[in-house]
């Protein structure tokens, strides 16, 4: 009933607002954006009309067309990563088309000119009061990214523990349930309905234009699960001409140096292929892609076999009225390696676990509608249905044949953006969710629903200062448990000290409601017995950050921030008085620290480098100890050398030794040698050649991951990947 009422209300509101769009006097501009030095077209440049919410991007030839602009004296702002931002003035009438040629100057340091996620609208990075990192599609390609988390592990302040993401100490490891970081695709949540976990494999890297990583609590705009941050995937834009890309790759793991670790005489290999086709036919744009992934695994029973498929369509009724549709599917079969037999057999699991496996089928379908009602008013409506089904063959006392779960998560989001004046932006919206989980022997049959309303006001106080304030109310109900009601405010301020210096400050409240898995799990495995806890309370937080961005010259860009997150009622698994494991609200905690980022570009961009260092002090106040599974020091270095058609990339990451773990698992003898852990020092090398200048539509690459074969654990009794050598070839048609 809640879903139906929300959808009916949204449709009626869209129909009403559509009637307001008649009668406005408008004109049209078109043009081309080129590099001022090379005279080549610039693809993907952002064009925004100042004083309105209208905008577009350049196509494959660098051209753009923007209709329906209010007449009079107007200005557009043009920006592109790697180029100096430019503002162009012109006079517009309804009887002529203004034709513009825009020449952008290259800059040595690549900054992110426009961010979408921080305030639910496109805006300049200079206005954003939060720390935001951007992973571009080129970064993803350069690192041979098979799943997105492979690329995110090089983002400053981010660490990955067995596919569970941790931003600035917000998360330790919660055994695959209850993510404190919210994953979005084009602003829509992508968490499973039962465990509320991120399934990285369900997102094909080919469908990504860029990824925005917002650090700090995002619940004031995005609700539950954004307590530790937000990751928003911006989908790949449509090509204006037919474009096909096919990628093949194959790899091999090198053997360990210790004979006792060698469990197979066969080479452990990986391989796969992916394809992408993009085109626009008249008003219809579409992307379609798929992939096949195979991996023998460097550990025994750590194999995987995976199929992915996806498509995205958009139909433009006009430049200001667009309907889109998306679909994605993932089918996967993998081994289930829990932990090693012992340190002398680090690549083998216990004998009773060597045949454990998991099968899963996940798919989602969604649609959206966008319309510029007037030059000042923009609405968007998005909805998505995400179905996740998995089953394993791990016997329990509940079922000797194993466990399984099917979850269905539906979300609908209506958003309105209103520009009251050149210096005043207002955003508001409504969200409805419905969750249905069926599990034969782990969670039971559970239903939940929720709703939210949010609003945000953004004001340019002066030419140098920018203020944003927002608030969100959330309501969530799960089965017969007490409803969760939460109000989350946020505040942000940026101040431009000089042309190249911006100070920022932000504060916000976060929360996360317990997932179905945390409340209702009843199972056993790996020597543990887990039982339900229906008295769980939501996690809550306050986050505060102060930072400064400084461009010293066109060759050096820096960002420095200090942050503190206060945390209440953190949910963690722990042993109860009954001797079983339950999820409890066990922790009052805080994380504090600082982060420094330096980007360099030397010798006319022959050498580019990025260095990021994060210091964390994650404190469990109740126990007066360091929070579990959080490294205190994180260092990332990425360098790239460009020599005509040849490119060399080198990545290095260091994570300090984990200080606190689940010692009970070792003391009780459940995990042998589980307390063995060391700091992380890992280097990757990437070599690639683009043969286009020789008339060949081909890019060949060599990737060596864990170049120096450094041995470390990425979780208790789990040896991280060995050296992995991969050869790849990409054909562009």
Tell me the sheet residues that pair with 291: 274, 308
Section 88-93 average pLDDT:
86
> Out of 181-195, 218-232, 293-307, 472-486, which region has the weakest mean confidence (pLDDT)?
218-232
The predicted structure's pLDDT at residue 320: 75
Average the pLDDT over 213-241 and give the result. Answer: 83
Q: Given a cut of 50, is residue 164 above it in pLDDT? A: yes
Transcribe 94-123 into DSSP letters.
Answer: SSSEEEEEEEEPB-SS----EESTTTTS-E
pLDDT class of 20 with cuts at 50, 70, 90 = very low
Give the pLDDT score at 376.
Answer: 81
**Measured between alpha carbons, how far is 660 from 668 in angstroms, rounded to an integer?**
16
CB-based contacts of 135, cutoff 8 Å, min separation 6: 151, 152, 155, 210, 211, 213
The whole-number pLDDT of residue 554 equals 73
Please report, rounded to a whole number, the percentage of residues in the chain having pLDDT higher than 70: 92
Residue 68 has a pLDDT of 74
Which H or E element spans position 730?
A: strand 724-732
Residue 589: band (very low, low, confident or very high) from pLDDT cuts 50, 70, 90: very high
Could you read off the pLDDT of 238-276 as tens digits, one per residue? 887 889 999 999 999 999 999 999 999 999 999 999 999
| pLDDT digit string, tens, across residues 500-529 | 899 999 999 988 999 999 999 888 766 678
Instruction: Answer yes or no: is pLDDT of 377 > 90.
Output: no
Name the residue with higher pLDDT: 49 or 731.
Answer: 731
369 band by pLDDT with thresholds 50, 70 and 90? very high
The residues of the chain that CATH labels 2.40.170.20 are 114-732
* Tokens (6 digits) for 298: 């460097």
CA 705 → CA 141, 505, 710, distances in Å? Answer: 14, 38, 10
Say what the pLDDT of residue 651 is.
96
Q: Dump pLDDT digits (tens) for 324-346.
A: 999 999 999 999 999 999 999 99
What is the DSSP secondary structure assignment for residue 627, as one 8-state letter? P
Say if residue 108's pLDDT is above 60.
no
Classify residue 6 as left (phi > 0), alpha (psi -120 to 50) or beta.
Answer: alpha
pLDDT at 109: 57
DSSP assignment letter at 694: G
Buried b (16+ CB within 10 A) or exposed e, 286-296: bbbbbbebebb
Closest CA to 661 of 620, 600, 695, 705: 620
Looking at residues 418-435, what average pLDDT do you find? Answer: 89
- In 3D, which of 393, 431, 400 has the Cα closest to residue 415? 431
> 489: buried, middle or exposed (CB in 10 Å: 19+, 13-18, 0-12)?
middle
Tokens 């990757």 -> residue: 684
**pLDDT, average across residues 598-605:** 85
Per-residue pLDDT at 113 exceeds 60: no
Q: Quick one: pLDDT at residue 278?
A: 93
CATH code of the region 2-104: 2.60.40.1120
| d(C-alpha 137, C-alpha 132), whole Å | 16
How much is the pLDDT for 637? 97
Mean pLDDT of the chain: 88
Residue 23 has pLDDT above 50, yes or no: no
Higher-pLDDT residue of 93 and 708 is 708
**Lowest-pLDDT choice from 105-119, 281-295, 621-635:** 105-119
- pLDDT over threshold 50, residue 21: no
For the sheet containing 26-35, what is the strand order? Answer: 63-70, 26-35, 97-104
pLDDT band at 574 (very low <50, low <70, confident <90, very high): confident
End-to-end alpha carbon distance in the chain: 49
Which pLDDT band, with edges at 50, 70 and 90, does 130 fall under? confident
pLDDT bracket for residue 123 (50, 70, 90): low
pTM, full prediction: 0.88
Cα(472)–Cα(510) distance, integer angstroms: 10
Q: What is the pLDDT of residues 55-90, one digit of tens each?
A: 787 877 888 888 777 778 888 888 876 677 788 888
Q: Which residues pair with 76 in a beta bridge?
A: 49, 88
* Mean pLDDT in residue range 583-588: 85
Interval 369-396 mean pLDDT: 90
Strands 158-161 and 625-626, bridge-based pairing:
unpaired
- Separation CA 88–CA 143 (nearest Å): 37
CA 134 from centroid of its chain's CA atoms:
9
The answer on pLDDT for 111 being more than 70 is: no
Summarize the confidence of residues 692-712 as an average pLDDT: 95
Residue span(s) of the chain under CATH 2.60.40.1120 come to: 2-104
Specify the residue for token string 């350049």: 58
Question: Which of the listed CATH numbers 1.10.10.10, 1.25.40.10, 2.40.170.20, 3.30.70.380 matches domain 114-732?
Answer: 2.40.170.20
Do 598 and 557 touch, CB atoms closer than 8 A? Answer: yes
Report the Cα 293 to chain-centroid distance in Å: 21
Q: 177 pLDDT exceeds 90?
A: no
Classified as helix, coil or strand, 211 is strand
> How much of the chain exceeds pLDDT 90, in percent?
54
For range 391-400, the mean pLDDT: 85
Asked whether the beta carbons of 358 and 338 are under 8 A apart, the reply is no
Q: Give residue-wise pLDDT tens across range 521-544.
A: 888 766 678 889 989 999 999 999
């Amino acid at each position: 009933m809640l879903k139906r009422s929300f959808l009916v209300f949204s449709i009626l509101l869209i129909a009403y607002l559509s009637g307001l769009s008649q009668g406005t006097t408008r004109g049209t501009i078109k043009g081309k954006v080129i590099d001022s030095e090379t005279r080549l077209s610039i693809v993907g440049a952002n064009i925004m009309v100042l004083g309105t919410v209208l905008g577009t991007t350049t196509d494959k030839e660098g051209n753009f067309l923007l209709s329906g602009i209010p007449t009079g004296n107007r200005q557009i702002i043009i920006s592109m990563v790697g180029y100096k931002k430019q503002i162009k003035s012109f006079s517009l009438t309804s009887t002529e088309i203004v034709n513009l040629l825009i020449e952008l100057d290259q800059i040595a340091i690549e900054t992110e000119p426009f961010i979408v996620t921080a305030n639910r609208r496109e805006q300049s990075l200079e206005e954003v009061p939060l720390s935001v990192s951007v992973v571009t599609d080129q970064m993803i390609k350069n690192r041979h990214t098979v799943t997105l988390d492979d690329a995110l592990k090089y983002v400053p302040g981010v660490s990955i523990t067995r596919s569970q993401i941790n931003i600035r100490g917000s998360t330790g490891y919660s055994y695959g349930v209850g993510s404190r970081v919210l994953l979005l695709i084009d602003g829509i949540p992508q968490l499973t309905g039962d465990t509320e976990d991120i399934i990285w494999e369900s997102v094909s890297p080919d469908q990504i234009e860029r990824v925005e990583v917002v650090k700090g609590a995002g619940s004031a705009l995005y609700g539950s699960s954004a307590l530790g941050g937000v990751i928003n995937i911006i989908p790949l834009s449509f090509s204006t001409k037919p474009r096909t890309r096919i990628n093949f790759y194959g790899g091999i793991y090198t053997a360990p140096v210790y004979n006792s670790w060698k469990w197979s005489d066969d080479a452990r290999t990986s391989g796969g292929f992916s394809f992408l086709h993009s085109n626009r036919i008249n008003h219809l744009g579409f992307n379609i892609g798929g992939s096949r992934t195979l991996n023998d695994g460097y550990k025994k029973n750590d194999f995987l076999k995976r199929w992915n498929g996806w498509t995205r369509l958009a139909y433009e009724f006009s430049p200001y009225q667009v309907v889109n549709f998306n679909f994605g599917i993932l089918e996967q079969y993998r081994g289930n390696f829990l932990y090693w037999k012992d340190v002398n057999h680090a690549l083998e699991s216990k004998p009773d676990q060597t045949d454990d496996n998991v099968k899963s089928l996940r798919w989602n379908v969604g649609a959206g509608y966008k319309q510029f009602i007037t030059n000042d008013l923009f609405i968007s409506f998005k909805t998505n249905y995400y179905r996740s089904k998995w089953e394993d063959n791990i016997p329990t006392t509940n079922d000797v044949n194993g466990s399984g779960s099917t979850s269905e998560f539906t979300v609908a989001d209506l958003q309105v953006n209103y520009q009251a004046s050149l210096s005043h932006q207002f955003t508001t919206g409504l969200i409805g969710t419905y969750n249905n989980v069926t599990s034969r022997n782990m969670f039971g049959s559970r239903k939940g629903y929720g709703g939210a309303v949010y609003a945000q006001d953004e004001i340019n106080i002066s030419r140098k200062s920018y203020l944003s304030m927002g608030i969100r109310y959330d309501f969530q109900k799960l089965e017969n448990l007490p409803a969760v009601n939460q109000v989350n405010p946020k505040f942000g301020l940026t101040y431009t000290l000089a042309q190249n210096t911006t100070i920022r400050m932000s504060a916000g409240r976060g929360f996360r409601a317990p997932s179905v898995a945390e409340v209702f799990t009843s199972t056993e495995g790996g020597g543990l017995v887990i039982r339900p806890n229906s008295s769980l309370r939501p996690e809550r937080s306050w986050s505060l950050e102060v930072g400064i961005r400084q461009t010293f010259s066109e060759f050096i860009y820096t960002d420095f921030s200090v942050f503190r997150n206060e945390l209440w009622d953190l949910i963690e698994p722990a042993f109860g008085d009954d001797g079983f494991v339950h999820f409890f609200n066990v922790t009052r905690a805080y994380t504090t620290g600082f982060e420094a980022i330096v980007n360099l570009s030397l010798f006319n961009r022959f050498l580019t480098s990025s260095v990021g260092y994060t210091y964390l002090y994650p404190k469990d106040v109740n126990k007066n100890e360091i929070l579990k599974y959080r490294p205190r020091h994180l260092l990332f270095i990425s360098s790239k050398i460009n020599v005509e058609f040849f490119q060399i990339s080198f990545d290095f990451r260091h994570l300090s030794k984990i200080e606190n773990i689940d010692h009970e698992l070792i003391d009780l003898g459940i995990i042998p040698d589980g307390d063995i852990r060391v700091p992380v020092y890992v280097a990757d090398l990437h070599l690639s050649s683009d043969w286009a200048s020789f008339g060949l539509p081909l890019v060949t690459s060599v990737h060596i991951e864990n170049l120096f074969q450094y041995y470390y654990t990425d979780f208790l009794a789990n040896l991280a990947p060995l050296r992995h050598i991969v050869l790849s070839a990409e054909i562009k048609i």
